[in-house]
Structure formats: structure tokens, C-alpha cells
């Protein structure tokens, strides 16, 4: 049975006064009637995810910054690690593993040159950011992942005062596991990885398909209620089966104490331990399904179950519960040994249970004992628990510590810390010189062999670094490889500029470059305008900084009238544009753009509707006449213009774009996560909604937004890509290329016998292999894919980093 999680979204947004068109109200009403936020529907409550501010996405990250994320993902705040400086990892405790795939020979340029072929990478990862490193050597990057040191805070959470602790305490198994600080109950919950290691029933693992999930999948806090649980079993022909179950609340009150009829024939009642006899079970009709239903009804959504070796009880009940505290693992011994509940109750609680005069165990008594032990541990703190019971339980004395003398200089290397916490690490791939013990390196002759091996061992590795090198090996066989990356990068940059370029005209002879730029700026920031005089008519080549600007220009200004002369706006006709429709569709559906909206401010030239009414797609659009200058009287009269069937009254322009004004205008459509403006007096912005519903609602109300001076378009440019083009190609080089850009740019080429179609095939195969790696990862794994930078002839080609926490939905 599937766990259920509530993901209803409360709309409670303040309605703007005097701006409540019925169409917009209908959109909002439909939105609130839907099941809820798209991202929450896709992810269970409290699942881990990475988020990066839009403005930060435009800056590349380094290996050191990536390691901030990996350190926090693995160790978290409970071990003194801070959130990364450049991103946020939400619900870090839900991260179960880390997998890093390093792809050799593929740069950011190559990815975008074969964008349509890389379906997995562009659709499975919600975060994409440029990546740079001091070296383009795979061995160096892999070494940094394993060897960069965790910040010099004690990863065992020891404060400065606690550094003076006697070695017998500092390296005690309880202190090693939980530190010395007194913390809330959430610090002692078993993680999914710990549950698997200690043989707990976990949803999705083989062998537990017929187990009932309690449905408790909400976030647990330090105020969540504790419930003690204990079961007694009998031995049947099919193994141990439930015979009695007890459940107590946080105050020790018994909520359930039921005898249960085993499903199969009993061969041993285990009376010595269970206290169960044949006579006791003979009249019982209660079944396992009955007690499952009762327990599920009694437990609230955020309940935390407490027990001693609770995994055995949950298996007997055939229940899956994600939030548990196991007292056998709280009061832990060396080398994985465990105390008996009877011993702990006597030493810690000074309570006698399971005495010889009793006939078997009393599950209610045992449940209360386990509950009291957990509450005592949480209330007292691990350090004081150890100090008070050091000799009685563990047989240690402060004068004579056991053989656990620490190394004089402990290692803070990431790999060493993980291994000290019993979290396995491994490097898999082509033979390499990685700064990691050879016993943790696994070398393979091919990517195919490595992938096959990794998929059989993925559940056993906490940190795995995979090197994919087959594509690089193919490319290096070519004598032209050293020139390929630079030529490829120039080609990709040129194609991207072509996508952002429109040709417009004809214009009147007196229409200047400045006026063209002012006219087209209503759609987005214009990078460059070039006037083209054919001797008969004047046209202009307009290059936008953003792809969305070109799309809006085609939509809004095609058919615009300038001094009675209608202009056309169209794309350049080149081979690079043959697959434009496919690329645009892919960019619009790209996961990094799912919830994002591009907004531009209407300029006065268009919005005031002075003197001219131009027809756009059969509708009227107002604009200033050509050659307009402030203070100059023009022919014609003031008119009301019409765009998309809506009136634009003279003087209707959008206010200066600011985060406050944009939130006021767009928050009625959905919860806004962030607003990104490129600077002061910005003419365009990028709005990120909490869900795609908000974006679609705003696009559906574009007519209403147009009345207030806003043009909208679905975001199409990946957030990092705009800055990448500017970073990768210098302005001087870019302008020189553009001035000579009328000549045909090669869209394909041959190098070393490998044709472009063969290159696309190799990349598609690589993408499929990365997809198989991702699909084999357990839920909760932080997946990282690195495309490394490449330096050729002194020219740096940036890499790319993909980030996603797999959630199985």
C-alpha cells in the first residue's frame, strides 16, 4: 500500500484592488481547485532537493564550491557543516547517498551543439550551472572530491571545551555516533541508510512488497510524539509470526495490547520468552490485518516509534514506518554488539523487567522500558549518559581506557571522514591516478563494463565517483582534436547568436540605428543593431541578448507601422536554423525553465499609441511614428491602440521594473519563488514561480498584463547560458565575428574521420548510459554530473554541472 502525503496548496494571496478581471479570477479559481503545487505533487513532503537563486546561476562554480554541497549533503548541520555559500540543500537528512559522474571530453559547448540528443541530461536534472576547475584533468577533479578537507570543525560535533575530554569518552562508541551535545529527538532518528543496514523493512526494497506502510510520510520535528512498541512471536511452519503486540503513548499509557492468531500452524509457542501458550491463542480471532489497521489508526502522521531492536517487531507486524528510534542503537557497544533491554532497564532506569518469576516477557512492560530509555537519552544527552553509566554498562574507567587510542593528527579528508563513519566510498572507471587508497578504486576497460558492475553494487556505496571516458578516447584518436573544441565552441556561440537575431525593415530613410534599438527594446535588451542599406531600402539586423527578446519581436513587431510603412520582422535564413523549431520546443520544455517566466516592459514608443495604429496579426498596435523626437509635432492624432484585442490607452506604460512591482503584478497568478533583475532600471526580468501553474496562469492572462504594460513569454534561455556566451567569447572577438557574419558559417564538419552524425551517436549513447546510472540510484541519492572544462590553445571552454536529488517520483 502506498504512503500518502498531503500536498494541498493554500492560496491565501492578497487580491489587488481595482484589478480583478473575470478572466484572471477564473484562472485563479481553477488554479486553487487543482490538487496542488506541481513540484509538491511530484515529490513527497520533506524530500531533499537543491535550489540555486537565478542570479547565482549566472556565475560558474568551482570544485571547492561543489565540495561545499557534497560535504553538507553527507554530514549536515548535526556534524557542524554549514549550508553551501552558493545554493541551498533542503531536507539534507533525506540524502542517502552521493553519486558523481565525471564525463571526460564533453564540454558545455559539445552539450549544446548536440542538445537534442542529450534528452536525459536536459530533462532529469532541475539544476544546471557552469562549472570550472583549475585543471581539466579528470584525475585531478576526482582526487579533489575524495581529498578536499572538510572545514576544520570537528565532524564529531565536539566543542572546544569537549576537546579536553578523556580519550575514553571522546572515542566512546556513543560519542562517536551522536557527539556530546544534547539534541532533540530528530537527531536520533534512523536514516534510511541506517534502517537498511540494520535490516529494517523499507519501502521499495525486495522482500517487503506485501508490507503495509503506515502513511506517516510527513516531516518529523523535535516536538513529534513518541510511541513505544513491542511484539512477541511464535514459531510456525513459515518462521516467526506475530502472537502479541503492545503499543504505549509518550506517557506510558497502554493504547493497544492484543493477542494475534498466527496465520500458519504453530510448532513452538516460545513460551519461555513470549509467555504465549496454546490455551491463550485458542479463542483468539484477531488477525495480523486487524492489528495493522488499529496501529495505523492510533498513530498520528508524525509519530516516532521507539523500540529495542525494533526491526524485528516491524517485520512481525509487516509494517513499514519511516520514523524510528532504536534503543539498541542508542546505547551502543563496540564492534556492533548490543545490550539486552533487561540490562539497560536495570542499569539506567533502575527497573527490573523480564524477571525469572515471570512466565515470559510482558510486551507492554518492554515497550514502556524502551520508551523511557529513549526519553532519558534525549533528555540527558549522550555525554552525560556515558559519564553516568560508563563503568556499569561499558566496563570502562577513566583511568584505563580500552585500545582505542586516537591518531595524534586526525584526517579531515572527505573520504577518510566518510569511512570513519562506516560509509563506503569508491572510484570506478578507467585506470587513473586518483588520490584514494587503491583498495577503494575499481578499474575497468570500458564504460560499458564499468556501468554493468556499478549497477550491481550501487546500494552498497555511500560516495561513488564514476569516470566516463569512452567518448574522449574516440576524440583523442583524431589529430584535429586540439582544434575541435575551439571550433566547436565558436560554432555553438554563432548558432546561439543566430537564434537571438532578427532582421527587420524596410525602414524610412531617416530612421536611425538608435531609433531601431529603442523600438526593439520593448521586447528585451538589445545587444547590437546593424543597419543594412541595399541601395533601395533600409533594413536592420537586431541581435538580442536573450532568446525571449527575439521571440517577442517576431510576435509583437512583425507588421508594425513606422510612418505608414509596414515593417517585417523575420529570422535569418541559414542552415543553423533548420532545426530551430525542435530546439525551441526543447528549450521551452527544458526542466530548468519549467516554472520560469520572461517579462519585458513596454517602451513608450509602443505603449503610448501616438499618431499611428499598426496592424499586428490582424489587430491594432499603437506606436510612435518613425523619426519621433520629443517635442517634435508629428502628423496624425492621438489614438487608442489595440494589442491582442485589448486597448492600450495613451500613456499606458509599465512602471520601472522592480521586485516589488513585479510581485504585486504577478503574485495573483501563483506563489513567486524569486524575481531576478539584471540591474537598475532593468527593462526585463525573470520570474520563478513555485510551480508551473503560476507561469501558465500568467501567460493565459497576457491580455490583462498587456494593459498594464507588460509583455510575457515562457522562459527559453537556460539561466546560466546567457552569461556563458558572454564569458566564453570576448566582446571584441564576438563583434569581429558578427561584422563578418554574413558569410556562411559551417554547421557541420569532419575531424579525424569522425563525422558529426557519428559524434551525435556517441553522445546519445553516453546520455543513455548516464540515464541507466541515474535510474539505478536509490531514492534520496544526490546525483551530480560534471562535464569538465577544456583549455585549448589558451582558450578556455567552460564545463557544466548538473544536480538533482533522485526521489523516485
Tens of pLDDT, residue by residue over 669-682, are 999 988 888 766 77
Going by pLDDT thresholds of 50, 70 and 90, the confidence category of residue 476 is low
pLDDT at residue 488, as a whole number? 58
Q: How far apart are CA 654 and CA 651, in angstroms?
A: 10
Task: Enter the C-alpha cell of residue 337.
Answer: 554488539
Name the more confident of 107 and 668.
Answer: 668
Is 424 within 8 Å of 462 (Cβ atoms)? yes
Going by pLDDT thresholds of 50, 70 and 90, the confidence category of residue 797 is low
Q: How far apart are CA 251 and CA 736, in angstroms?
A: 78
pLDDT at residue 547, as a whole number? 85
Which of 406, 556, 488 is CA-nearest to residue 759? 488
Going by pLDDT thresholds of 50, 70 and 90, the confidence category of residue 605 is low
Q: In this model, does residue 233 exceed pLDDT 80?
A: yes
Q: How far apart are CA 237 and CA 66, in angstroms?
A: 54
Task: Enter the C-alpha cell of residue 157.
Answer: 560535533
Q: What is the DSSP letter of 238?
A: T
pLDDT at residue 230, as a whole number? 95
Mean pLDDT of the chain: 77
pLDDT at residue 254, as a whole number? 96
Q: What share of the chain is helix, strand, coil (3-state, %, to 5)?
A: 40, 20, 40
Q: In this model, does residue 7 exceed pLDDT 50?
A: no
Q: What is the DSSP letter of 391?
A: I
Q: In this model, does residue 622 exceed pLDDT 60?
A: no
Q: Do the domains 484-579 and 189-380 match in fold? A: no
Going by pLDDT thresholds of 50, 70 and 90, the confidence category of residue 604 is low
Residues 199-222, mean pLDDT to the nearest whole number? 87
**What percent of the chain is modeled with pLDDT above 90?**
31
Question: What is the fold of 594-607+656-715?
Answer: Alpha-Beta Plaits (3.30.70)
Q: Which CATH class is domain 189-380?
A: alpha beta
pLDDT tens, residue by residue, 422-442: 889 999 988 878 888 888 888
Q: How far apart are CA 44 and CA 753, in angstroms?
A: 49
Is 414 within 8 Å of 149 (Cβ atoms)? yes
Q: Where do the domains of the chain lie? A: 189-380, 484-579, 594-607+656-715
pLDDT at residue 469, as a whole number? 84
Q: What is the DSSP letter of 125?
A: -
Q: How far is CA 743 from CA 41, 483, 574, 737, 750, in A?
A: 50, 21, 10, 10, 19
pLDDT at residue 745, as a whole number? 43
504 alpha carbon, distance to own chain's centre: 42
pLDDT at residue 634, as a whole number? 31
Residue 769 phi, psi (nearest 5): -65, -40
pLDDT at residue 569, as a whole number? 93
Residue 6 CB: number of other CB atoms within 10 A? 10
Is 200 within 8 Å of 193 (Cβ atoms)? no
> Residue 745 burial (CB < 10 Å; 0-12/13-18/19+)?
middle
Which of 800, 797, 799 is CA-nearest to residue 122? 800
Q: How far apart are CA 76 and CA 59, in angstroms?
A: 25
Task: Enter the C-alpha cell of residue 259.
Answer: 493477542
What length is written for the chain? 809
Going by pLDDT thresholds of 50, 70 and 90, the confidence category of residue 706 is confident
Residues 483-511, mean pLDDT to the nearest whole number? 75
Query: Among the listed ranges 12-16, 171-175, 320-324, which one has the minimum average pLDDT value?
Result: 12-16
Pairing verdict, β 425-429 and 441-443: parallel
pLDDT at residue 460, as a whole number? 81
DSSP string computed for 154-217: -TT---TGGGGS-HHHHT-HHHHHH-SS---GGGGSPPHHHHHHTT---TTSTT-TTPEE----
- Which residues are registered as beta bridge partners of 256? 247
Going by pLDDT thresholds of 50, 70 and 90, the confidence category of residue 473 is low
pLDDT tens, residue by residue, 22-50: 444 444 434 433 433 444 344 455 688 99
Three-state SS at 88? strand
pTM of structure: 0.56
Q: In this model, does residue 243 exceed pLDDT 90?
A: yes
Helices and strands of the chain, counted as H and E runs: 32, 33
Cβ neighbours for 124, distance < 8 A, ≥ 6 positions apart: 591, 771, 774, 804
Task: Enter the C-alpha cell of residue 351.
Answer: 527497573
Going by pLDDT thresholds of 50, 70 and 90, the confidence category of residue 104 is confident
Q: CA angle, 450 as apex, 444 and 451 as ends, to 5°?
A: 170
Residues 621-650, mean pLDDT to the nearest whole number? 34
Q: How far apart are CA 118 and CA 771, in angstroms?
A: 10
Q: How far apart are CA 158 and CA 170, in angstroms?
A: 8
Spell 79-100 as b/e; 16+ CB within 10 A means b.
bbbeebebbebeebbbbbbbbb
Q: What CATH number has the domain spanning 484-579? A: 3.30.70.330
pLDDT at residue 484, as a whole number? 55
Name the more confident of 126 and 44.
Answer: 126
Name the more confident of 632 and 263.
Answer: 263
Which of 133, 798, 793 is CA-nearest to residue 493? 798
Q: How far apart are CA 113 and CA 106, in angstroms?
A: 11
> Residue 503 burial (CB < 10 Å; 0-12/13-18/19+)?
middle
Q: How far apart are CA 345 and CA 586, in angstroms?
A: 63
pLDDT tens, residue by residue, 394-425: 887 665 444 444 444 677 889 988 888 888 99
Three-state SS at 721? helix
Q: In this model, does residue 618 exceed pLDDT 70?
A: no
Residue 152 phi, psi (nearest 5): -75, 55
Q: In this model, does residue 471 exceed pLDDT 90?
A: no
pLDDT tens, residue by residue, 730-774: 444 444 444 444 444 444 434 443 455 677 788 888 999 999 999
Going by pLDDT thresholds of 50, 70 and 90, the confidence category of residue 285 is very high
Going by pLDDT thresholds of 50, 70 and 90, the confidence category of residue 783 is very high
Q: How far apart are CA 422 and CA 183, in angstroms?
A: 22
Q: In this model, does residue 338 exceed pLDDT 70?
A: yes
Amino acid at each position: 500500500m502506498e504512503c500518502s502525503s498531503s500536498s494541498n496548496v493554500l492560496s491565501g494571496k492578497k487580491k489587488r484592488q481595482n484589478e480583478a478581471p473575470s478572466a484572471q479570477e477564473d484562472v485563479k479559481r481553477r488554479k486553487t481547485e487543482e490538487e496542488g503545487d506541481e513540484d509538491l505533487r511530484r515529490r513527497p513532503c520533506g524530500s531533499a532537493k537543491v535550489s540555486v537563486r537565478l542570479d547565482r546561476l549566472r556565475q560558474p562554480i568551482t570544485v571547492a564550491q561543489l565540495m561545499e554541497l557534497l560535504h553538507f549533503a553527507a554530514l549536515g548541520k548535526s556534524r557542524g557543516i554549514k549550508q553551501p555559500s552558493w545554493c541551498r540543500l533542503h531536507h539534507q537528512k533525506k540524502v542517502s547517498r552521493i553519486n558523481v559522474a565525471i564525463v571526460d571530453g564533453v564540454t558545455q559547448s559539445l552539450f549544446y551543439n548536440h542538445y537534442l540528443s542529450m534528452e536525459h541530461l536536459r530533462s532529469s536534472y532541475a539544476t544546471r550551472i557552469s562549472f570550472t576547475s583549475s585543471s581539466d584533468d579528470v584525475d585531478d577533479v576526482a582526487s579533489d572530491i575524495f581529498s578536499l578537507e572538510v572545514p576544520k570543525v570537528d565532524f564529531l560535533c565536539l566543542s572546544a571545551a569537549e576537546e579536553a575530554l578523556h580519550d575514553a569518552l571522546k572515542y566512546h562508541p556513543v560519542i562517536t555516533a551522536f557527539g556530546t551535545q544534547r539534541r532533540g529527538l530528530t537527531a536520533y532518528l534512523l536514516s534510511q541508510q541506517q534502517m537498511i543496514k540494520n535490516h529494517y523493512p523499507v519501502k521499495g526494497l525486495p522482500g517487503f512488497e506485501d508490507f503495509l506502510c503506515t502513511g506517516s510520510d510527513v516531516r518529523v520535528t523535535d516536538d513529534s510524539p513518541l510511541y513505544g512498541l513491542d511484539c512477541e512471536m511464535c514459531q510456525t511452519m513459515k518462521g516467526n509470526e506475530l502472537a502479541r503486540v503492545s503499543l504505549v503513548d509518550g506517557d506510558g499509557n497502554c493504547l493497544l495490547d492484543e493477542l494475534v492468531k498466527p496465520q500458519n500452524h504453530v510448532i513452538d509457542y516460545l513460551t519461555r520468552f513470549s509467555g504465549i501458550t496454546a490455551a491463550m491463542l485458542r479463542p483468539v480471532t484477531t488477525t495480523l490485518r486487524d492489528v495493522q489497521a488499529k496501529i495505523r489508526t492510533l498513530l498520528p502522521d508524525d509519530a516516532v516509534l521507539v523500540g529495542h531492536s525494533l526491526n524485528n517487531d516491524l517485520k512481525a507486524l509487516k509494517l513499514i514506518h519511516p520514523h524510528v528510534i532504536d534503543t539498541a542503537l542508542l546505547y551502543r557497544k563496540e564492534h556492533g554488539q548490543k545490550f539486552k533491554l533487561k540490562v539497560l532497564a536495570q542499569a539506567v532506569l533502575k527497573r527490573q523487567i523480564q524477571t525469572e518469576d515471570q512466565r515470559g516477557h510482558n510486551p507492554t512492560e518492554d515497550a514502556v522500558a524502551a520508551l523511557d530509555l529513549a526519553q532519558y537519552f534525549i533528555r540527558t544527552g549522550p555525554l552525560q549518559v556515558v559519564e553516568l553509566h560508563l563503568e556499569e554498562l561499558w566496563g570502562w574507567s577513566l583511568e584505563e581506557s580500552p585500545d582505542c587510542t586516537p591518531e595524534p593528527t586526525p584526517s579531515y579528508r572527505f573520504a577518510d571522514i566518510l569511512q570513519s563513519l562506516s560509509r563506503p566510498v569508491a572510484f570506478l572507471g578507467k585506470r587513473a591516478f586518483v588520490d584514494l587508497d587503491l583498495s577503494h578504486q575499481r578499474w575497468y576497460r570500458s564504460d560499458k563494463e564499468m556501468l554493468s558492475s556499478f549497477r550491481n553494487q550501487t546500494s552498497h556505496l555511500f560516495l561513488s565517483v564514476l569516470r566516463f571516458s569512452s567518448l574522449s578516447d574516440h576524440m583523442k584518436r583524431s589529430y584535429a582534436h586540439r582544434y575541435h573544441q575551439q571550433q566547436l565552441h565558436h560554432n555553438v556561440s554563432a548558432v546561439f547568436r543566430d537564434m537571438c537575431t532578427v532582421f527587420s525593415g524596410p525602414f524610412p530613410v531617416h530612421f536611425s540605428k538608435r531609433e531601431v534599438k529603442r523600438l526593439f527594446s520593448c521586447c528585451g535588451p538589445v545587444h547590437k543593431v546593424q543597419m543594412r542599406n541595399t541601395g533601395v531600402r533600409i533594413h536592420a539586423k537586431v541581435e538580442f541578448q536573450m532568446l525571449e527578446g527575439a521571440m517577442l519581436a517576431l510576435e509583437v513587431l512583425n507588421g508594425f507601422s513606422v510612418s505608414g510603412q509596414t515593417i517585417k520582422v523575420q529570422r535569418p535564413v541559414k542552415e543553423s536554423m533548420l532545426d530551430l523549431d525542435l530546439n525551441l520546443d526543447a528549450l521551452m520544455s527544458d526542466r530548468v525553465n519549467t516554472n520560469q517566466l520572461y517579462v519585458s516592459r513596454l517602451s513608450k514608443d509602443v505603449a503610448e499609441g501616438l499618431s499611428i495604429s499598426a496592424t499586428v496579426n490582424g489587430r491594432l498596435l499603437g506606436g510612435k511614428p518613425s523619426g519621433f523626437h520629443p517635442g517634435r509635432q508629428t502628423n496624425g492624432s492621438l489614438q487608442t491602440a489595440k494589442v491582442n484585442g485589448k486597448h492600450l490607452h495613451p500613456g499606458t506604460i509599465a512602471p520601472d521594473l522592480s521586485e516589488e512591482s513585479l510581485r504585486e503584478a504577478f503574485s495573483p497568478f501563483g506563489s513567486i519563488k524569486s524575481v531576478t533583475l539584471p540591474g537598475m532600471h532593468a527593462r526585463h526580468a525573470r520570474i520563478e514561480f513555485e510551480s508551473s501553474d503560476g507561469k501558465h496562469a500568467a501567460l493565459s492572462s497576457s491580455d490583462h498584463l498587456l494593459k498594464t504594460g507588460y509583455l510575457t513569454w515562457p522562459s527559453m534561455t537556460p539561466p546560466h547560458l546567457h552569461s556563458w556566451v558572454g564569458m566564453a567569447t570576448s566582446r571584441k572577438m564576438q563583434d569581429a565575428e558578427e561584422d563578418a557574419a554574413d558569410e556562411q558559417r559551417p554547421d557541420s564538419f569532419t575531424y579525424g574521420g569522425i563525422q558529426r552524425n557519428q559524434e551525435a551517436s556517441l553522445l546519445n549513447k553516453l546520455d543513455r548510459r548516464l540515464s541507466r546510472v541515474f535510474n539505478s540510484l536509490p531514492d534520496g541519492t544526490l546525483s551530480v554530473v560534471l562535464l569538465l572544462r577544456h583549455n585549448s590553445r589558451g582558450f578556455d571552454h567552460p564545463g557544466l554541472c548538473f544536480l538533482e536529488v533522485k526521489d523516485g517520483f
